[in-house]
Amino acid sequence: MRVWIDLTNSPHVLVMRPVIERLRTAGHEVQVTARDFAQTLGLCERFGLECTAIGRHRGEGLAAKAAGLASRSLALVRWAREQSRGEGGGGFDIALGHGSNDVCVAAGLLRIPSSTMFDYEWATLQHSVNCRLARAVVVPEVIPEQRLRRYGAAAKLRRYEGLKEEYYLADFEPDAAVLASLGIDRSRPLVVVRTPPEVSLYHRFRSDVFAGVLERLRAAAGREGVQAVVLPRVESQRALLEGIDGFVVPRGAVDAQSLIAYADLVISAGGTMNREAVALGTPVYSTFEGRLGAVDERLIEEGRLRRLAQPGELELARRRVDSEQARVRRDPGVLVELLLSPLIP
């Protein structure tokens, strides 16, 4: 079987890595395309995932995103046709993506079955496209079906238990080398921070709470010896953060999962890093100011994720680990089966 996987953002590399590995181990041919955005290409290189770089992020506005979708989808069509071993159809048996509208559009034009996967249900424009074009929509079971009906997904839903992070982190063990590479002193408090997804349509405004968090951490670096590793999403954020004393801003893709595992606290304005912290047992605050999805609603209800209202609520100290928290490790093979379900009679 020939499988096409498209990666459009940094977290997608993490989610799809074990899927790619299992498909290849099973003897299937897997071709990967990736968009030049955030750390997507850098993470592919770090994990040894050979990919073809196609397209880039075209901007924040709706018109720019629409233009980007059209141009990159057509570029993917041309690429897929070049890979074809026969007439038409792109030569692939199925196309897979995590929230990639581009691959769903391209696969539709090529009449290739596709599956999409996501865990945040309020990206309305994105899901209005990918859910209608895909033959399978793979989501956490905690997302209510009624929230997905508007996208035409009800008959296509394939559900999995728990968090997607519990699947792709199943084989993960932290590596202290990342601390040494960043000059981190393990005797002092370590806070890992992820910036807001300012280029996402579902996050239309800057976070005043997050700005307050940065100021609190900048002051704590001098007074309390707190080490703040700030992970920007895009180069414009990096350029701003590198000019602030007291922050460690890595260049390029780093082993963020190990940083999270060793951190005393994680603060993220997005979603994936919050849930990675939950999966790894690290205390975590969310400063996300968009509409909460069902996954985060459940985590907050269970006390596994806290929503930060004021920067003064932060406790910047070494965390006490009274006992080793049992990690939930789930089989990524479950995701493989769900994604390939359109090919099963």
Average predicted confidence (pLDDT) for the chain: 90
Per-residue pLDDT tens digits for 138-168: 999 999 999 999 999 999 999 999 999 999 9
In degrees, to the nearest 5, what angle opens at C-alpha 118 toward C-alphas 117 and 119? 140
User: What is the percent of the chain with per-residue pLDDT over 90, rounded to a whole number?
Assistant: 70
Q: Which residues contact 222 (CB under 8 A, 6 or more apart)?
A: 245, 246
Instruction: Give phi and psi for 318, each to the nearest 5.
Output: -60, 135
- pLDDT of residue 291 exceeding 70, the answer is yes
Look at residue 319 in the predicted model and tell me its pLDDT. Answer: 83
Lowest-confidence region among 107-111, 174-178, 242-246: 242-246
Encoding tokens for residue 91?
A: 């030569």
- Beta strands across the sheet bearing 136-140: 52-56, 29-36, 2-7, 94-98, 114-117, 136-140, 157-160
- pLDDT of residue 322 exceeding 70, the answer is no
DSSP 87: S
Q: Is 146 exposed, middle or buried (0-12, 13-18, 19+ CB in 10 A)?
A: exposed
β-pair type (2-7, 284-286) = unpaired
In whole angstroms, give the CA distance from residue 153 to residue 122: 13
- pLDDT of residue 11 exceeding 60, the answer is yes
In whole angstroms, give the CA distance from residue 200 to residue 184: 31
Look at residue 235 in the predicted model and tell me its pLDDT. Answer: 79
Per-residue pLDDT tens digits for 61-90: 677 778 778 999 999 999 999 997 654 445
CB atoms within 10 A of CB 155: 7
- Which of these, 140, 172, 163, lies nearest to 256 by C-alpha position? 172
82, 106 Cβ separation under 8 angstroms: no
- pLDDT of residue 205 exceeding 50, the answer is no
> Across residues 105-133, what is the average pLDDT?
96
Angstrom CA distances, 146 to 164, 216, 278, 291, stand at 21, 40, 26, 16
Give pTM, 2 decimals: 0.89
Per-residue pLDDT tens digits for 227-262: 999 998 777 888 888 878 889 999 877 899 999 999
Look at residue 325 in the predicted model and tell me its pLDDT. Answer: 61
Look at residue 345 in the predicted model and tell me its pLDDT. Answer: 78
Angstrom CA distances, 259 to 103, 142, 153, 230, 271, stand at 32, 28, 36, 11, 16
Look at residue 290 in the predicted model and tell me its pLDDT. Answer: 83
